Every structure is written in C-alpha cells, then in structure tokens.
Structure 1
Amino acid sequence: MRTSPVWSPKQYGTYAQERGRPFADLIGRVRADEVRTVVDLGCGPGNLTATLRDLWPEAAIRGIDSSPPMIEAAQRYADDKLTFEIGDLREWTAEPGSLDVIVTNAVLQWIPGQLDLLPGLVRALKPGGWLAIQIPGNGNAPSHSILRDLAATEPYAQYARNASLRAEVPAPDTYVDALSAEGCVVDAWETTYYHLLRGDNAVLEWVKGTGARPVLQSLPDDLRQQFEDEYGARLAEVYRQRDYGTLLPFRRIFAVAHKEA
C-alpha cells in the first residue's frame, strides 16, 4: 500500500498551457524591481520557474520541491542562475531578510495549517520583498466531490483512507488578514478559469496529474484501474465532451503580499 504519491512530470505536463496560465497571472501582480534572489517553493517540473529568468535576468533563482521525479525533470532548465533542489516546504527556512521574491504556486493546498507557515515566509523576505501565492479553490467541484465519495466506498476505502487529500483552503480575505498582520500590503483575488480541454475524458486526464493522484497511488494494482474506470465514467457524465472539447471550470485563489520597506 502506498500513501505518499509519486508525482509524474509527464502526467502533470498534460494541459501544461492551461496549468501555466494562473502562474503567469500571479507573477504579473509582483511589481518587484532590482530582484537578486528568488525562491519558487513547490516548483514542480521547473517549466514555470524557468519563465522567471526572462522577468528577472540578473536574479539567482532557486526551485525547491519535495518530489525527486519533479526535481529530476526540472534539471533540464538549470543554469548558473537557475538551480533546483529537493526540499519540503513545511521544513524550509531561509535567513531572515534574505530574499526579494518568494513564489508558491499550487502547493499550499496540500498543507494543513498552511497559514502557520506564512509568518516564516514573510520573515525571509527583505524589506520591500514580495510573496506570491496561488492555490486551487475548486475543492467543492464535482471532480473532487466525486473523488472523495468514491474513495470512501469499499473496496477502495480501506486503502485510500490515508491518502493525502487537499486541505481546506483559505478564502482570499483570510490571506489578507493573515499577511496584513505580518506587515504586508496585500492584493488578493480569485478567478474561475473555464479551460477548454481536448481529448477523451479530459477531466480525468487532468486530475490524474494532480488532485486524484494520491488516491490512485494509494490503491493496489488490481484496484487502481477499476477505480480509474469508475471515476472516469462518473466524471464523463458531469463534464460532457462536446465537438469543441470539454469545459472545465476551475476556481483559483491568489494573494500577493508586499512587505513594508
């Protein structure tokens, strides 16, 4: 039985353009000048982290992720100013006042009590530094409610009960309160993207790379395909494939905090 998912850069890369759009929207609100030090916490396969080189070409950029396969995939983008390393966000620390920008994109939703981490992230910023956060806010969407319901039934429940499912995520105003208390000026918002996905049972292919992966990997081989088939059939009933593709509404929550100089 496996309770810790092994993330797949290949599967995660499915619909990479759609997954990358929130990252670009997040970074677009960071108004940092003369950036010299950047950390991307939860960098995944590194393709989005690499885009930061164009924005801040003089900066030393570090990508950190707890998944060895993701870091291995990210190494293709590494150079003298862009490096990648394995690390756990829950244990990560930096010298106070040492960083210009911290980015954490689509990772805090996996961490219960994520708000407890925010003071340490702000402390790591230089005066005038920036913290950029984006998390999925679609935990009540059919893609996830169907997943939870099915995983709670036998024969799956005995294996999936220890799978890492997303923690309850804060609302935008909660981020404003928490980060303002740390001496930041906060810009928070939410957006629902309507992704048009190509391919058969496209929503299943999407969630196999992210939200459903812990459950799928918790199951033994003889049940995993059975679960995937049943889950996929239920998804296809809700997210209907049409001639032009399958529409996936996806809510995301953003917060950009500017530490007072």
Structure 2
Amino acid sequence: MKAVQFSNLILECATRTLRNQNGNKVVLRPLPYEVLLVLLQSEEPVTRDELFQRCWEGTVVTDQALTNVISSLRRNLLSLKAKCVEIKTISKVGYFIEVDGIEIERLPDVKAPEDVPRMFVDSELSALPPTHFDVPSSRPVNLAKLIPALLSTILIITLLLISYFKPFSEKPAFIKKGRYEQFALGDTHYFFKDMTSGFVSSDEMQEQLSRTIPPTCGVDIYIRLFPSSYEPDKVALSVWLQQEGGKRNHNFRQFAVEKEQIATYISEALINREVTCD
C-alpha cells in the first residue's frame, strides 16, 4: 500500500487515512479524499470545474458542495496541527494547496475501511418539496400556492438538462490539448506530457504504446508523468481516458511506475466500466 507524505502528515491511500507524526488521524470520506489527492498532484491551481469533473464525475451539485468539502479539509488539517500546509482559494480560478514538500512512501498493508457511497447530490436538491397538489374541484386554483412548486419543478428540469448537454462547461485543465505533445496511433489519439526531467521521450512512449494498445481503440488518452522524490528511478503516472465524443471519461493514477511499465498500466486503465477500448 502506498501513501503520500507532505509536511508532517501522511495520507494512506488504501484506507483514506490522514495522520500526523504524533499518531493522531482522521479517516476521510471519499469526496474529501479525492479532492485532497487532486490538489496534491497538481503543480498549479485547480479550477472548480476540474474538481467537479474529476471528483464528482458529472453529478449535478451546487458550488456549495465543493466549498463544504474544502472547509472540511481545512478543519482536518487544523485538527492534525499540519505544519506549513495551506489550501488557498485562488479568486475566480479555484484552489491550490501550498506545502513544503511531497513524496511517496510505502507502508505495510492494512485493512481498508468499509466503502461508502462515493458521490452524493447536494442537500439543496434533495430537500426540494414534492410537486403534488390537492386542489378541491369546487374551488378555483390558488396560483400563489402553485407558483413556488412550479418554479421548483422548472429548476430541477433545468439542472438535469444542463448536466446532460453541458453547453457552457469549460473543459478541465487536465484535458486542454494545447498543453500536450500530440500523436495518433490508428484511431487512438494520445496527449503526452512529461513533467519530469526527461524520464521518457515521446518517441519511446509511442514505441511502448504501439506494442501494447490496439490502434483501433478510438479513445483519447491523456498521459502525465510526475517526478517521484522517494524513488528517483520511478515516476507518478496520471491517465485521463476520454470517450470519443466526450460523453464519458475515466481517470487513473499510479504512484511508482518504471519506464517499461507505463504502457502496461495505461492498458490496464482501459479495463473499466466507464471508458473501455472496444
């Protein structure tokens, strides 16, 4: 089992446990854990849209849902007396975690906590009143009572339409194509970014992928490599799989990967229920 160590804290990935050097710990819920992991992986501010896309996977929620998660993480850092760690709000952009150093640590296996639902719908939506009316037939309809319920119904329908069509949603920063080296192998399009000091070249990456992944996959594959200060001969790997047409996606992370294993891990990431290589 692997963990992310930053400042005087360790985040145990398999159990979602955040603990300090004094033995105090907090077991994070799935959403705060996902948000914290995305912030720790990013070297730049993460937009609210990207956090919604990667952690809520398209579920319709209000901005308050993310605000609540960030507030919860800040309370956890405070309760564990985190040193030189701060989740900063970047005005009109999103969030950024400022920390002295991050490294990967291997820990003994422990039993993971019982799983809990990964996503939830914001309480504002679940608390909406039912749209059922009991109007006596012998009396005229009271429009003053009907209008609030009708507006609630319209709001729900509008949110559902936005979640399906997403006409104005900006693409997450992770899949902005201008930030990558781009190449195609058959119907499969790759977007590659090595954020290390030249761990693997684009030509080497193409050679690996051409031998491992079918050229008729038809999926956009975004690949990022991050340095690993704990194991200098390995890298952290982030993969974003986007179905052609943009309707479904899947993201995958691996923290200690050798050069020869990169294509194999990407191939394994294609075996999932969201975006598969047909």
TM-score by length of 2: 0.26
Q: Which has the higher contact order (CA 8 A, sep 6+)?
A: 1
- Name which one, 1 or 2, has greater alpha-carbon Rg: 2
- Which structure shows the bigger proportion of residues in helix conformation? 1
